[in-house]
Amino acid sequence: MSLRQTHELHQRRFGRNLGVALTLAAFIVIIFGLTVVKVTRGDFEPPQASTGGQG
C-alpha cells in the first residue's frame, strides 16, 4: 500500500519529467549520430593527415 496518495499533479509532473528525459536522450543520439557521420566522412581530418611525419 502506498504511504502517500498520488495526486493528479504528480502524474503531470511525471509526464513532464519523462518528456525532458526523452528529449535529452534524443539530443545525445543526435550528437552521437552527427559525430559518426562527420568522422566517417573525414570532415575533421587535417589536410596532410595521410602523409608520413617528417623530422
Partner 1 sequence: MSDASFNTSTARAAHRPDEAGFGDYFALLKPRVMSLVVFTALVGLLAAPVPVHPFIGFCAILFIAIGGGASGALNMWWDADIDQVMKRTKKRPIPAGKVEAGEALAVGLGLSGLSVMMLALATNVFAGAFLAFTIFFYVVVYTMWLKRTTPQNIVIGGAAGAFPPVIGWIAATGDMSVEPWLMFALTFMWTPPHFWALALFMRSDYDDAGVPMLTVTHGRRATRVHILVYTILLALLALGTAFSDIGGPVYLAVALVLNALFLLGALRIWRRDEADSEADNFKTERNFFKLSLLYLFLHFGAILAEALLRPYGLGGWG
Contacts of partner 1 in 19-38 (CB under 8 A): 19-20, 30, 33-34, 37
CA dist 5 and 37 (Å) reads: 49
41 binds partner 1, rule: CB under 8 A? yes
How far is residue 45 CA from its own chain's centroid?
23
Q: Which is nearer to partner 1, 44 or 51 (CB)?
A: 44
Binding site for partner 1 (CB under 8 A): 7, 9, 12-13, 15-16, 18-20, 30, 33-34, 37, 41
